Amino acid sequence: MIRDKSSANGSADAGLERVAIIGSGNWGSAIARIAASNAKANPRQFHPEIIMWTHEEDFEGRPLTEVINSTHENPRYLPHVNIGENVRAEKDLGKAVANATALIFVTPHQFLEATLEELSGKIRDGVRAVTLIKGVKVEGSDMTTFASVISSRLNIPCSALCGANIAQEVAMDLFSESTLGIPTSSSGDLESLPEVKLWKTLFQTPKFRIRVVADVEGVCLGGGLKNIISLAAGFIDGLGWGANAKAAIMRTGFMELHDFCLEFFPSTTSSTFLQESCGFGDIIASCIGGRNRKVAEAMVKTGKNISELEDTLLDGQKLQGALTARDIHNFLHARRDSVKRPGGYPLFEAVWNICYNNMEPEKLIDNL
Ligand SMILES: NC(=O)C1=CN([C@@H]2O[C@H](COP(=O)(O)OP(=O)(O)OC[C@H]3O[C@@H](n4cnc5c(N)ncnc54)[C@H](O)[C@@H]3O)[C@@H](O)[C@H]2O)C=CC1
Ligand SMILES: O=C(CO)COP(=O)(O)O
């Protein structure tokens, strides 16, 4: 970590939270819009400028950062939405975080590791983080949530915000709920915790409502694993098997997600998945309107593979579900002699088989 050299004591900015968003994709840009509006509305708590680290690329002959900073839109990943004049796109990660006291992680999960590597030694003391990333990290028979990865790599506390939050809808101010998971052992009033006050002030709006739980691992896992179920729902749509079949997949998928988390992450609580937006809510939203669903449907209808469709259908946005299905398969394989759930996790395994092993989508239901 480095010491704060910038906020000279006595300056008007001293003591204000300074926010940096690590990621500028579809969700990153939508959440930047909310954070920018809330920071501006709370000048005694937040510095008005929100810095959004942007992986630089060309957009119609100009650097994307320059386009975002001159138009206040991100036409590449969230077109036609004004994200706020107080959002500044910054291509240099070190500069983006140099003064930050609050870090929001929202890159596609495949880029997190390299980003953390680059961040090492560049953040201030006392910084707090929240992750909005959906996925998990698997190494052999070990699995880690991204809140834990960020927390241990940077040695800072990390919360998680996940829910039924399709970015385009949130960006249009359509009503949504989300779940904030806080790393605390407190069983008291969560709302009074400084972490909760920080993140709720930054993210909550009348149309984007946040409930808080003390189960940060559960929030990460609900958001991460539901992408496998969305792929399964997309296969059902591609096959044209109708609403009953899709409901069966959502129910079965929910049970696998729930049992998997309780089996391998005993700190998670059933109520996080049953009652909160990051659990059953996100499964429903993603199985109806998510990108994983869309790509899986096209996979069945066109016979093309996931990466081809990611390129053609998502225009640079990234799919998380197939990589997560592979991670979960590898984890279950490594733990094959000790899985306790009777019958294992057949829906998760079938999705992996369809994505990576040429299994016919019709076989999705064979082992359920
Ligand atoms: N889009 C959505 O509706 C929601 C997404 N999420 C989660 O948020 C996370 C981020 O998703 P989105 O913002 O939608 O991203 P996205 O799917 O729009 O991906 C594009 C982003 O990836 C970046 N990127 C491309 N190559 C890169 C590289 N080599 N290094 C670093 N960054 C690179 C691009 O600059 C861009 O910011 C994911 O884990 C996703 O599951 C969560 C809730 C809703
Ligand atoms: O996580 C999401 C909504 O909560 C978005 O899911 P997709 O990545 O499948 O679009």
Mean pLDDT to the nearest integer, 1-14: 50
Nearest to 198 by CA among 154, 153, 223, 161: 161
Q: What is the DSSP letter of 278?
A: I
Tell me how long the chain is: 368
- Is the pLDDT at 241 greater than 50? The verdict is yes
The domain covering 17-214 belongs, at the CATH homologous superfamily level, to NAD(P)-binding Rossmann-like Domain (3.40.50.720)
For ligand 2, atom 6, the nearest C-alpha belongs to 290
Binding site for NAD(+), by residue number, is 23-28, 111, 167, 291, 318, 320
Report domain extents, the chain: 17-214, 225-365
| Mean pLDDT of the chain, nearest integer | 95
Does the Cβ of 176 fall within 6 Å of ligand 2?
Answer: no
Q: Number of C-alpha atoms within 13 angstroms, CB side, residue 203?
A: 35
Residue 140: how many other CB atoms lie within 10 Å? 10
**pLDDT at position 12:** 61
Question: pLDDT band for position 184 (50/70/90)?
Answer: confident
Q: What is the pLDDT of residue 185?
A: 78
Q: Is the pLDDT at 7 greater than 50, yes or no?
A: no
Whose CA is closest to atom 19 on ligand 1?
317
Please tell me if the CB atom of residue 292 comes closer than 6 angstroms to any atom of ligand 2: yes
Ligand 2 contact via 33 beta carbon (within 6 Å): no
Cα angle, residue 55 at apex, residues 54 and 61 outer, rounded to 5°: 95
Higher-confidence position of 5 and 103 = 103
Atom of ligand 2 nearest to the CA of 166: 3
Catalytic residues: 226
- Identify the residue whose tokens are 């790599």: 153
Rounded Cα distance between 339 and 188, Å, is 34
ipTM exceeding the 0.95 mark = yes
Closest ligand 1 atom number to CA of residue 55: 35
Matching CATH topology for 17-214 and 225-365?
no
User: What's the 129 CA to ligand 1 centre distance in angstroms?
Assistant: 17
88, amino acid identity: R
Using 50, 70 and 90 to split pLDDT, how confident is the model at 4?
A: very low
Ligand 2 centroid to Cα of residue 245, in Å, is 21
Q: Which residues line ligand 1 (CB under 6 A)?
A: 23-28, 55, 77, 106-109, 111, 132-135, 165-167, 316-318, 320
Q: Whose CA is nearest to atom 6 of ligand 1?
A: 27
Question: Would you list which residues are annotated within the binding site?
Answer: 23-28, 111, 134, 167, 291-292, 318, 320
Report the distance separating Cα 363 and Cα 368, nearest Å: 10
- CA–centroid distance, residue 110 to ligand 1 (Å): 9
pLDDT classification of 8: cutoffs 50, 70, 90: very low
26 Cα to the center of ligand 2, angstroms: 10
290 lines ligand 2 (CB under 6 A): yes
Tally of CB atoms within 10 A around 81: 19
Report in angstroms the alpha-carbon separations of 126 from 153, 155, 163, 227, 267. Answer: 14, 10, 27, 33, 26
Q: Which CATH number, 1.10.3720.10, 1.10.287.990, 3.40.50.300, 1.10.1040.10, labels domain 225-365?
A: 1.10.1040.10
pLDDT at 276 over 70: yes
Q: Say if residue 324's pLDDT is above 60.
A: yes
The pairing of beta strand 208-213 with beta strand 176-181 = parallel
Instruction: Say if residue 6's pLDDT is above 80.
Output: no
